[in-house]
Homo-oligomer: A and B are copies of this chain.
Amino acid sequence: MSTIVMKFGGTSVADLNIMQNAILKIVEEVKNKKKVIVVVSAMGSTTDHLVRKVKEVSAIYDAREYDAILSTGENISASIMALLLQNEGINSRSWQGWQIPIITTDNHSNARILDISTKNLEKRFTNGMQVAIVAGFQGISNKNRITTLGRGGSDTSAVALAAAICAERCDIYTDVDGIYTTDPRITASAKKLDKISYEEMLELASLGAKVLHTRSVELAMQYKVKVRVLNSFKKGSGTLLCDEEDMMEKKVVSGITFSKNEAKLTLLGVKDKPGVAGIVFDCLSRANINVDMIIQNISDNDLTDVTFSCPTDQVDMAKESLEEGKKNNIIEYRKLDVDRQVSKISIVGIGMRSHSGIAKKMFKTLGDENINIKVISTSEIKISVLLERKYLELAIQSLHEAFELSKV
C-alpha cells in the first residue's frame, strides 16, 4: 500500500463548503487504497488576520511568538479537516508540527526543514489511520519552539513529507488547473503544460508565478519527488514536475513569466573603482530592498553608471537610503534616475541550453513591435528584460506567439 501526499492551499480550505471539494478528492484516494497524508494551509485569510494582530502589538516583534501565533491557523484547519473526514467514516486525525515532529532550523518565520521523523505517522497508519491531516507551514526548532517556514511554506511541508515517507507522489491542490505557458488572463492562447522540469519551475516560481513556494521546488528537485499541481475545484491531470530527463521533448521555451510593478533606478556618475558596487548594494540590503537585476555600464573618465531594479513599492525606501548614503559620504554619485513605469518579462526553458538564437528571437520580436528594451539579464535557462509597463501585455502576447507556446 503506497502513500501519497495531498496539499490543499488557503483558497481550497476557505470554508466548510469549499472544503468538501478537498474531501471528495481525499475520499477518492482512500478508495484507491492509498495511505494519505494531507497537508493543509490556514483557512482563507486567517494568516493575514493573525499577522495584522501581531503588528498591532508592535512593529518590531519576537519572531518566536509571531510563529506561535501564526501556526494556530493551520492547527485549526487541520482539525476541522479531520472532523470532516470522520463525518465520512474515515479514520483520520490531525497532526501539529511538534507532534510528528517536523524539525526545523530556529530561523523563525523563515525556518528550513532539517528532519522529519515518520515513525509516529507510520505507526498510526499500521494501527488503522487512513488519513493523516498535517498542519502545514510549521515545525519545531531544536529548542522546542514552534517555527514557521515563510509564506507559502505549506507547499514545502508537503514536498518534505513526501520525500521523508518516500511517497508515490505529492499533489498540490490550488485554484488553477496547473502551470501555464503564461498568465491566461493576458493571452487566451496560454496553454496548460502537462509537464515541466524542476529547473524551469524554479525559475518560474522565483519570477513571480506564485503557484509554488520556491523552496518546495528545490526540495522536490533534490529528492526527486513527483509533484503535481492540480485544481481542487475540477477534475484534470494538472502539471507534473519532473526531471529534465523525463521530458520527452525539451522545448526551447516553456513559459513566459512577468512581474508587473517594477522600477528601474540608475546611479549616474559613480566612481569606477573596486568596492563601490559592494557599498551601494550593502546600503540597499540594509534597507531591506529586494534588488533584482543589476547592470553596470562601461566606464568613462573613471565614472560609471549603475542600474538596478526593485519592486515599485520599495522605490521610496531605496531612494532614501541612497540619498542618506550620499549625505554621509558613504556613496558618491552625481544623480539618481528613477523610472517607476517598468515591468519585467522573462522567458524560461531548459531547451535554451542547447539552442542558440533564442535571445536574438526575443529581442527581434519585441523590436518588431517597437518595444524598447531597457535592461537585459540572462541565466542558463532564462532571459529577462525590463520594458515600459504599457507594453507588458503586447510583449507577452507577441513572445507567446513567436515561441509557438500555444502549440504545446
User: In the assembled complex, how far is the CB of residue A85 from the closest CB belonging to chain B, in whole angstroms?
Assistant: 10
Query: Quick one: CB contact mask for A56-79 with B, threshold 8 Å, 1 for yes?
Result: 111001101110110010011011
The number of times this chain is found in the oligomer is: 2
Query: Quick one: CB contact mask for A182-213 with B, threshold 8 Å, 1 for yes?
Result: 00000000000000000000000000000000
**By the criterion CB–CB under 8 Å, are B79 and A69 in contact?**
yes
Contacts of A66 in B (CB 8 A): 79
Determine if A96 is an interface residue (Cβ-Cβ < 8 Å). yes
Contacts of A50 in B (CB 8 A): 76
**By the criterion CB–CB under 8 Å, are B76 and A62 in contact?**
no
**By the criterion CB–CB under 8 Å, are B16 and A57 in contact?**
yes
**By the criterion CB–CB under 8 Å, are A94 and B75 in contact?**
no
Contacts of A86 in B (CB 8 A): 58, 61-62, 65
Contacts of A56 in B (CB 8 A): 16
Determine if A82 is an interface residue (Cβ-Cβ < 8 Å). yes
A62 to B61, CA, bound (A): 36
**By the criterion CB–CB under 8 Å, are A57 and B80 in contact?**
yes
Query: Quick one: CB contact mask for A77-105 with B, threshold 8 Å, 1 for yes?
Result: 01110111011000001101011000000
Query: Quick one: CB contact mask for A26-57 with B, threshold 8 Å, 1 for yes?
Result: 00000000000000000000000010011011
Known: A16-B57, A99-B144. A80 touches B87 (CB 8 A): no
Contacts of A93 in B (CB 8 A): 62, 64-65
**By the criterion CB–CB under 8 Å, are B75 and A87 in contact?**
no
A87 to B64, CA, bound (A): 14
**By the criterion CB–CB under 8 Å, are A75 and B72 in contact?**
yes
**By the criterion CB–CB under 8 Å, are B72 and A57 in contact?**
no
User: In the assembled complex, how far is the CB of residue A179 from the closest CB belonging to chain B, in whole angstroms?
Assistant: 33
A320 to B76, CA, bound (A): 36
**By the criterion CB–CB under 8 Å, are A84 and B57 in contact?**
yes
The residue from B57, B94, B144 contacting A68, defined by CB atoms under 8 A apart: B94
User: In the assembled complex, how far is the CB of residue A86 from the closest CB belonging to chain B, in whole angstroms?
Assistant: 6
**By the criterion CB–CB under 8 Å, are B58 and A83 in contact?**
yes
**By the criterion CB–CB under 8 Å, are B99 and A83 in contact?**
no
Known: A58-B83, A80-B53, A83-B57. A69 touches B75 (CB 8 A): yes
Query: Quick one: CB contact mask for A323-340 with B, threshold 8 Å, 1 for yes?
Result: 000000000000000000
Query: Quick one: CB contact mask for A129-143 with B, threshold 8 Å, 1 for yes?
Result: 000000000000000
12 new A-B contacts at CB < 8 Å, known A53-B76, A62-B93: A16-B57, A53-B80, A54-B83, A57-B80, A57-B83, A57-B87, A65-B86, A66-B79, A68-B79, A68-B94, A69-B79, A72-B72
**What are 24 A-B residue pairs whose CB atoms fall within 8 Å in the complex?**
A16-B57, A54-B80, A54-B83, A57-B80, A57-B84, A57-B87, A58-B83, A58-B87, A61-B83, A62-B82, A62-B83, A65-B79, A65-B80, A65-B83, A65-B94, A68-B75, A68-B94, A68-B96, A69-B79, A69-B80, A72-B72, A96-B146, A99-B144, A99-B145
